[in-house]
């Protein structure tokens, strides 16, 4: 993973600068609570041993895995309407590919799926999701680049309400926790 590699490269062969590490973790969009949790675990380990760059990556992995469910429950469709799932995150995290994989998972489990190409800002995002949709033979709702993503999501949900659509999977543009305006846009989409 690129994130762990950058941490290892940053602190290789030198003592860990706690403030710098904390800042790196927060900037990586792990969030403040998780970043502080990782630093606290590393400081505890530092009481008994010298911390290396590999320790930083190992503890970060361990702490992240502690909060993830070991076996997440299945995602089930709603009884009378489509279940809408928006894939959100920061740039370069694989949102478009993850959206396609999720749609494929639902399709393989005999659920009907509709895709929404709501990343109207990244160059080729609509085309990339379109290639996946074509390969999987899944219908996709799309708009023009720089179009209003909330309006596109609204239209996609209206299309998904027709009988038989169990899941609506929407790919979105970069929306980190610090992107208040962009995150607020999605509240306007009227997805349940």
Q: Which of 9, 5, 10 is nearest to 23 (CA)?
A: 10
Q: Which of 179, 186, 188 is nearest to 85 (CA)?
A: 186
Superfamily for the 83-187 domain: P-loop containing nucleotide triphosphate hydrolases (3.40.50.300)
The answer to whether the CB of 60 falls within 8 A of the CB of 10 is: no
Higher pLDDT, 55 or 176: 55
Residue 56 confidence class, pLDDT cut points 50, 70, 90:
confident
Residue 168 confidence class, pLDDT cut points 50, 70, 90:
very high
Cα angle 168, 68, 115; round to 5: 10
- Structure confidence by residue, pLDDT tens digits, 103-123: 999 999 999 999 999 988 888
Q: Which of 132, 125, 80 is nearest to 101 (CA)?
A: 132
- Structure confidence by residue, pLDDT tens digits, 123-142: 888 899 999 999 999 999 99
Joined tokens for residue 96: 């478009």
């Amino acid at each position: 993973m690129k994130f762990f590699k950058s941490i290892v490269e940053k602190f290789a062969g030198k003592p860990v600068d706690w403030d710098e590490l904390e800042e790196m973790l927060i900037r990586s969009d792990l969030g403040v609570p998780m970043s502080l949790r990782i630093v606290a675990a590393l400081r505890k380990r530092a009481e008994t041993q010298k911390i290396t760059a590999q320790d930083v990556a190992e503890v970060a992995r361990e702490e992240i895995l502690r909060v993830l469910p070991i076996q997440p429950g299945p995602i089930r469709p709603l009884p009378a309407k489509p279940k809408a799932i928006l894939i959100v995150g920061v740039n370069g995290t694989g949102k478009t590919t993850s959206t396609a994989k999720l749609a494929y998972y639902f399709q393989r489990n005999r659920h009907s799926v509709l895709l929404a190409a709501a990343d109207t800002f990244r160059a080729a995002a609509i085309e990339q999701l379109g290639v996946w949709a074509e390969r999987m033979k899944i219908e996709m709702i799309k708009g023009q680049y720089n179009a209003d993503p909330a309006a596109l999501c609204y239209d996609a949900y209206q299309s998904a309400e027709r009988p038989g659509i169990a899941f609506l999977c929407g790919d979105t543009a970069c929306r980190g926790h610090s992107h208040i305006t962009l995150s607020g846009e999605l509240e306007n989409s009227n997805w349940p």
